[in-house]
Structure 1
Amino acid sequence: MNFNILAYTIYGLLTCYIILWVGRQFHRNGRIFIVSLFGQDTSLADTTNNLLLMGYYLFNIGYAIIQFSYWNQIQSVDELISSIALKTGRLLFVLVGLHYLNMLGIYLFAKRKNSLTIKH
């Protein structure tokens, strides 16, 4: 019996939930950092935050869809669970990596902005 269709369905639903939930958390909780970077210009900060959210969704949903093409033939329930766990774990590592890269970017941008503000 081939379990690939079941694996695709479970993985698709699981990753969509994870991507949407994490995206909402980043969008809601990261707004304050973006507002502080743009000197309290909330209009520009909100637009930037929305663009970051769109980029986040496009990148991660694209990555999740590409994972379907690398899926091996699944012949047992053990392989089904293992395969879904592996693909979901990779997605989580990508999300964590992107989060830390974004935080590094925000830190460096804020540091640069603060050093330019102090000089003037």
Structure 2
Amino acid sequence: MNFNILAYIIYSLLTCYIILWVGRQFHRNGRTFIVSLFGQDSSLADTTNNLLLMGYYLFNIGYAIIQFSYWDQIQSIDELVSSIALKTGRLLFVLVGLHYMNMLGIYLFAKKKKLINH
């Protein structure tokens, strides 16, 4: 029996939930950092924050969709669970990597801005 369709459905629901939940958290909690970088210009900070959220959604949903093309044939429940866990783990690894790269970028940008202002 082929379990690929079931795996696709479970993976899609799981990754969409993770991507949307993490995106909302980043959008809400990251606004403070962006406002401080733009010198309390709320309008520019909100626009930038919204653009970052859209880019985040597009990149991560695109990555999740690409994972379908690398899926092997699943023949058992064990393979189903293992495959979904592996694909979801890779997605989480990408999310963590992007988060730390963004935090490094914000830190370097704020440091450069502080040097220019002094």
Cα displacement (A) at 1:88? 0.1
Count of aligned pairs between the two proteins: 116
How far does the alpha carbon of each residue in 1:56-91 deviate from its partner, in whole angstroms, 9 at most, with x for none?
A: 000000000000000000000000000000000000
How far does the alpha carbon of each residue in 1:90-115 deviate from its partner, in whole angstroms, 9 at most, with x for none?
A: 000000000000000000000000xx
How far does the alpha carbon of each residue in 1:7-37 deviate from its partner, in whole angstroms, 9 at most, with x for none?
A: 0000000000000000000000000000000
TM-score, L = length of structure 2: 0.97
Cα displacement (A) at 1:45? 0.2
Note the aligned Cα RMSD (angstroms): 0.9
- SS in structure 1 at match of 2:67: helix
Tell me how far apart the structure 2 counterparts of residues 51 and 112 of structure 1 sit (CA, whole Å): 22
Question: Runs of 5+ in structure 2 lacking a partner?
Answer: none
Tell me how far apart the structure 2 counterparts of residues 94 and 119 of structure 1 sit (CA, whole Å): 34
Tell me how far apart the structure 2 counterparts of residues 23 and 80 of structure 1 sit (CA, whole Å): 27
TM-score, L = length of structure 1: 0.95
Tell me how far apart the structure 1 counterparts of residues 53 and 67 of structure 2 sit (CA, whole Å): 21
Tell me how far apart the structure 1 counterparts of residues 104 and 53 of structure 2 sit (CA, whole Å): 17
Identical columns (%): 91
- Which residue of the partner structure matches residue 94 of structure 1? 94
Could you list the runs of 4 or more consecutive aligned residues of structure 1 that deviate by over 6 angstroms after TM superposition? none
Cα displacement (A) at 1:119? 5.3
